[in-house]
A and B are shown apart, each in its own frame.
Chain A
Amino acid sequence: MNRPEPASSAGAVPLVEVKDLVQRYTLPRENIFRPPGQVLALNGVSATVMPGKSLGIVGESGSGKSTLARLVMALERPSSGSVSLLGRDLFALPPDELRRARRDFQMVFQDPYGSLDPRQTIARIVAEPLTALLRLDRAAQRERVAAVLRQVGLRDADMDKFPHEFSGGQRQRIAIARALITQPKLIVADEPVSALDVSVQAQVLNLLQDLQGEFGLSYILISHDLAVVDYLCDEIAVMYLGRIVEQGRPEDLFEHCAHPYTRALLEAVPQARPGSARRRGTPAPTASQSARSAGCPYAARCPLADRHCWEALPSLRDVGPAHLAACHKAETVMSQPFPYASEPLVRGMGVD
């Protein structure tokens, strides 16, 4: 594994560069005479995140979102492909360097109840990434913890409490504080607000936005909620069965979606507006990850699929400025009326 060439101009180094990631998992053996089955959780995913920008990843369960997050966090090794952070290939680093490099990327998990050790104090939970990285005396450590707790809107006095004394929203703040304490450049957040109530969800989303403005953080935000991703991210990747099927800026993606799957996702979001009659969905059988065909993996669910789609795999191609889609019929999809054509899009309508 060679290191990528150092970028010549400053500021052009991408923070994260994911190249052709493939991850296979072996299924439990069902028959002693046959080789065990395999699941292709990721099938050639490439993406870049520039410093201070955020990438949102959406898709259904089983689309490979969380596998991508685990690989970007270097929690497991990919079957092939590479992940570089600031030009350094994470999987080519020796273990002790990787350990030190981890201060630059931290993770926030979905379930704020399961991700905090119930028997440790908040001070210990939040300081844990620090103690793993460098030696600090107790006073200095407590000072850092207090500072980071204030940043996420908690009080110094909360340091000596235990997780059960906090509500779901506060626990997620603690998880965010734990991620922030090493002053990372990247936070990977896997469904950070989906376990929270609506009113608390808004508080945590605002906090994530404020922190980004304050520290120039980048996020890789995984969510099934398109509105959450739209709110925080500069770029969105839509994943389907281990591949990115569409990628672009939120406004392009939502107003001129180029992949029928993105359209199906948008159409499936229930609209909270008066008199909204139910829009019936088209029946969509779900595809399985182990059943492989030569053509487009979405063909079985796609209303536009023809023979070409079944036979040739579409590659990710440009369909507009900074807008990629993997669909033979992207132009047809884009020319169709927008899913929300009957309802004016709320762009520009302030949240006040």
Chain B
Amino acid sequence: MSAPLIEVENLSVRLNTSRGPAEAIRGVSFSLARGETLGLVGESGCGKSITALALMGLLPDSAVTSGSICFDGRELVGLSDRDYCELRGNRISMIFQEPMTALNPMHTIGHQVAEPLRRHTGCSAAEARVQAVALLDRVGLPDAAKRVDAYPHQFSGGQRQRVTIAMALACQPDVLLADEPTTALDVTIQRQILDLIADLVAERGMSMILISHDLGLIGENVQRMMVMYGGTVVESGPTDAVFTRMGHPYTQGLFRARPRLGAKKGTRLKTIAGTVPELADLPRGCAFADRCALVEDRCRAALPESVEVSVGHRVRCVRTDVSMADAVGVLPA
């Protein structure tokens, strides 16, 4: 096994919000091998996007980052802006949730796809344009050669997302971060975009981090997954292992709360009581303690250690013995 491409060690980010400092992520560690796909799941405010922004070096200036992000042997925490600009869009790229806001309405799509090429590979405008057309063609934009001079508003949502994918892939990055790439799109378009991303990841041997709140999407698209809550990783492991033997009460709650096609009429959805805690005043212990049915005094005393329940499958809960017995039957076999 070669050295991992990305190694994140004990990463914490503190943001200064109007309500005071907020620990957006606390002690996040993971590694990503070349060609591996990793999923991040969680509700809004759990820190999944902040993790992605930390990797991209796009956190607000006031954010305080500690820990380490090692990318291909290079430390990214504390890297200067100038050095980051060489990586961003070149070796690490990102696809954003809302394709309309990710594109500049004032420039043609051809110009925007060619921009990373011009910046990082130093090719001429004419070469970059030829490559941009090829890229747009590869991401399945119809009539790419003709539409390269069109503006973002002339495209549909799905087509715009294809353009942002072409931008992200222009320099053949080593890692692709996809932050809810299909949330703004229809289900049928979602399938096409995910197929496209999966093909490109396989074709170029890229690593991918896919961020989503949709468990179905994560289950179908990544090899390993992490469930985040209140800024910490509460469960991580191979996707199949997490889905079959989910160990954290929060993961189980997420699965139970989803309405399912064909469920019996009149059944009530199992909700998770309470709401997501404010990041500005997180409890000292387990962030999920206030909503957990299995809570004990020791849960509130200190942040639970993460326990390895099977190979590569870790759960940050002190009550895995009880919770994992409960998990049986959360999902149909």
A270–chain B nearest beta-carbon distance, Å: 3
A50–chain B nearest beta-carbon distance, Å: 16
B186 at the A interface (CB under 8 A) = yes
Alpha-carbon separation in the docked complex, A205 to B258 (Å): 10
B291 to A, closest residue via Cβ? A199
| B192/A199 in contact, CB under 8 A | no
B82 at the A interface (CB under 8 A) = no
B62 at the A interface (CB under 8 A) = no
B272 to A, closest residue via Cβ? A199
A204–chain B nearest beta-carbon distance, Å: 9
A278 cross-chain contacts in B, Cβ below 8 A: 194-195, 198, 220-221
Alpha-carbon separation in the docked complex, A272 to B41 (Å): 12
Query: A197-B276, A206-B268 are known contacts. Are A231 and B213 too (CB-CB below 8 A)?
Result: no
A285 cross-chain contacts in B, Cβ below 8 A: 142
Alpha-carbon separation in the docked complex, A151 to B214 (Å): 30
Give the segment of A77-85, A103-111, A180-188, A222-230 that binds chain B.
Answer: A222-230
A101–chain B nearest beta-carbon distance, Å: 31
| B189/A202 in contact, CB under 8 A | no
B134 cross-chain contacts in A, Cβ below 8 A: none
1/0 per residue A250-286: CB within 8 Å of B?
Answer: 1100110000000011111111111111111101111
A307 at the B interface (CB under 8 A) = no
| B43/A198 in contact, CB under 8 A | yes
A201 at the B interface (CB under 8 A) = yes
B190 at the A interface (CB under 8 A) = yes
Instruction: Summarize A's interface: helix, strand, loop or mixed.
Output: loop
A121 at the B interface (CB under 8 A) = no
A202 cross-chain contacts in B, Cβ below 8 A: 257-259, 269-272
Give the segment of B8-16, B248-256, B295-303, B310-318 that binds chain A.
Answer: B248-256
B124 at the A interface (CB under 8 A) = no
A199 cross-chain contacts in B, Cβ below 8 A: 43, 253-254, 257, 271-272, 276
Q: Which of A209, A227, A264, A274 contacts B260 (CB 8 A)?
A: A227
Alpha-carbon separation in the docked complex, A32 to B228 (Å): 56
B158 at the A interface (CB under 8 A) = yes
| B260/A273 in contact, CB under 8 A | no
Q: Total A-B pairs in contact (CB under 8 Å)?
A: 160
Total interface residues on B, using CB and 8 Å?
A: 52
Q: Which of A60, A272, A347 contacts B331 (CB 8 A)?
A: A272
| B267/A198 in contact, CB under 8 A | no
A349 to B, closest residue via Cβ? B332
Identify which of residues 179-238 in chain B touch chain A, using a CB-to-CB cut-off of 8 Å.
186-192, 194-195, 198, 213-221
| B271/A203 in contact, CB under 8 A | yes
| B258/A169 in contact, CB under 8 A | no
| A200/B275 in contact, CB under 8 A | yes
A350 at the B interface (CB under 8 A) = yes
Q: Which of A169, A198, A266 contacts B254 (CB 8 A)?
A: A198
A84–chain B nearest beta-carbon distance, Å: 28
Query: A199-B254, A268-B187, A351-B260 are known contacts. Are A273 and B271 too (CB-CB below 8 A)?
Result: no
Query: A200-B275, A276-B219 are known contacts. Are A224 and B261 too (CB-CB below 8 A)?
Result: no
A345 at the B interface (CB under 8 A) = yes
A284 cross-chain contacts in B, Cβ below 8 A: 188, 192
A61 at the B interface (CB under 8 A) = yes
1/0 per residue A274-310: CB within 8 Å of B?
Answer: 1111111101111000000000000000000000000
Residue among B191, B195, B214, B255 with the most chain A CB within 10 A?
B191
Q: Which of A231, A273, A280 contacts B269 (CB 8 A)?
A: A231
A344 at the B interface (CB under 8 A) = yes
A348 at the B interface (CB under 8 A) = yes
B262 at the A interface (CB under 8 A) = yes
| A270/B188 in contact, CB under 8 A | no
Chain B residues close to A by CB (< 8 Å): 43-44, 140, 142, 156-158, 186-192, 194-195, 198, 213-221, 239-240, 243-244, 253-264, 267-272, 275-276, 331-332
Q: List 21 A-B contacts (CB under 8 A).
A: A61-B157, A199-B43, A200-B275, A202-B259, A205-B269, A206-B269, A206-B271, A209-B268, A227-B260, A230-B263, A254-B262, A273-B219, A274-B219, A274-B239, A274-B331, A279-B220, A281-B191, A346-B261, A346-B263, A346-B332, A352-B267
Known: A224-B186, A274-B244, A346-B263. 16 other contacts (CB 8 A): A199-B43, A199-B253, A199-B254, A199-B276, A202-B258, A202-B259, A226-B261, A231-B269, A266-B261, A270-B221, A272-B243, A276-B220, A346-B260, A347-B264, A351-B268, A352-B270
